[in-house]
């Protein structure tokens, strides 16, 4: 499938993009499709477009997709405070309340997966099922080289596609602000405890690529801690299995296949 055919068009975005005043920031979200509500939470440094453009149209065939841009990312405003998983979780839950959605399935990728974990732990009443994609709950869940990179973070290491997409929305100063806040969050990353993960009662699918940032051993351990955990390890790198922006040049059917796996998991009662 060609890249030009998989991106959400500017016209579609204009028709679906909306803002809400959430905990002191102007939060951007899009609603696509119809059916049971499915929230999409993007990765660090990303937008709805860079994380989900390839798979969102597939998911919107079977769900009411609520795709959200989190604090300081994409179209969403910032506050005079660090970005944290705790605050992101509170913002998502507040937005759902404003949309009169009492409970939703939540699919979080990378940092969005960590936000989804926080929602499952702190706001179980808002969650139907969780999909935690390419995320970890302890520092040991990612290789040592990943953490070492935060000792001397380089803006040049940020994927160019993230920069390009962000600059279509906002300016260079805002991009640098997001970069520094995301770096600081990961530099200060604190583990969740095993007891935190065990407390999540929502059925949860842990999914990673076999060459992902998250170590396979960690994904297995997390899935076994969860009271209702399932695990899928698919071929590919970080987000490659659903067509994340850094892999959209690859012409394959894996994102469509992953959408089927996701739909099967979400459909089971």
Using the CB atoms, write b or e for 180-219: b if 16+ within 10 Å. ebbbebbeebeebeeebbebbebbbbbbbbeebbbeeebb
Confidence at residue 2, expressed as pLDDT on a 0 to 100 scale? 29
Predicted confidence (pLDDT) at residue 54 exceeds the cutoff of 60: yes
- Average pLDDT of span 201-214: 98
pLDDT on residue 3: 28
What percent of the chain lies above the pLDDT cut of 70? 93
Nearest to 55 by CA among 172, 207, 186: 207
Q: Is the pLDDT of residue 13 over 80?
A: no
What is the distance between the alpha carbons of residues 181 and 105, in angstroms, rounded to a whole number?
A: 27
Say whether 32 sits in a helix, a strand or coil.
Answer: strand
In this structure, of 162-176, 185-199, 243-257, the range with the lowest mean pLDDT score is 243-257
Digit-coded pLDDT (tens) for 119-150: 999 999 999 999 999 999 999 999 999 999 99
Q: CA-CA distance, 86 to 174, in Å (whole number)?
A: 22
Within a 10 A sphere around the Cβ of 14, how many other Cβ atoms? 8
Nearest to 42 by CA among 32, 33, 55: 55
pLDDT over 70 at 60, yes or no: yes
Neighbours of 130 (CB within 10 A): 25
Q: What average pLDDT score do residues 56-81 get? A: 97
Instruction: Please name the residues in contact with 125: beta carbons below 8 A apart, sequence gap of 6 or more.
Output: 102, 103
Query: What pLDDT is recorded for position 249?
Result: 65
Is 165 strand, coil or helix? Answer: helix
Instruction: Name the pTM for this structure.
Output: 0.93
Condensed to tens digits (0 to 9), the pLDDT of residues 163-185 reads: 999 999 999 999 999 999 999 99
> Which pLDDT band, with edges at 50, 70 and 90, does 250 fall under?
low
Domain that holds residue 143: 3-267
User: pLDDT, tens digit, for every residue of 38-47?
Assistant: 999 999 999 9
Cα–Cα–Cα angle for 229, 231, 236, rounded to 5 degrees: 150
What is the CATH classification number for the domain harbouring 117? 3.40.50.1820
pLDDT for res 132: 98
Average pLDDT, the chain: 93
Average pLDDT of span 247-269: 86
pLDDT at residue 88, as a whole number: 98
pLDDT of 5: 29
Residues for the chain: how many in total?
A: 269
DSSP per residue over 175-241, as a string?
HHHHHHHHHHHHHT--PPPHHHHHT--S-EEEEEETTSSS-HHHHHHHHHHSTTEEEEEESSSTTGG
Q: If you average pLDDT over residues 203-225, what whole number do you get?
A: 98
58 pLDDT exceeds 70?
yes
The total number of structural domains in the chain stands at 1
Q: pLDDT at residue 252 above 80? A: no
């Amino acid at each position: 499938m060609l890249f030009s055919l998989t991106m959400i068009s500017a016209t579609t975005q204009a028709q679906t993009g909306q803002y809400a005043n959430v905990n002191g920031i102007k939060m951007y979200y899009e609603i696509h499709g119809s059916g049971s509500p499915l929230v999409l939470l993007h990765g660090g440094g990303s937008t709805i477009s860079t994380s989900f453009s390839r798979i969102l149209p597939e998911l919107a065939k079977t769900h009411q997709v609520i795709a959200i841009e989190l604090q300081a990312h994409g179209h969403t405003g910032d506050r005079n405070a660090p970005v944290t998983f705790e605050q992101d979780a509170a913002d998502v839950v507040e937005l759902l309340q404003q949309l009169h959605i009492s409970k939703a399935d939540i699919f979080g990728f990378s940092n969005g997966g960590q936000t989804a974990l926080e929602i499952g732990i702190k706001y179980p009443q808002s969650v139907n099922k969780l999909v935690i994609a390419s995320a970890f709950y302890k520092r040991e869940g990612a290789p040592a080289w990943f953490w070492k990179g935060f000792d001397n973070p380089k803006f040049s290491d940020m994927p160019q596609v993230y920069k390009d997409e962000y600059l279509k929305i906002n300016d260079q100063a805002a991009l640098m602000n997001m970069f520094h806040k995301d770096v600081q969050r990961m530099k200060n990353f604190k583990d969740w405890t095993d007891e935190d993960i065990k407390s999540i009662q929502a059925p949860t699918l842990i999914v990673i690529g076999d060459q992902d940032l998250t170590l396979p051993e960690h994904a297995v351990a997390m899935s076994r801690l969860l009271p209702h955990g399932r695990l899928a390890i698919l071929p590919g790198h970080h987000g490659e299995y659903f067509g994340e922006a850094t892999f959209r040049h690859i012409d394959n059917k894996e994102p469509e296949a992953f959408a089927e796996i996701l739909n099967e998991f979400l459909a089971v009662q």
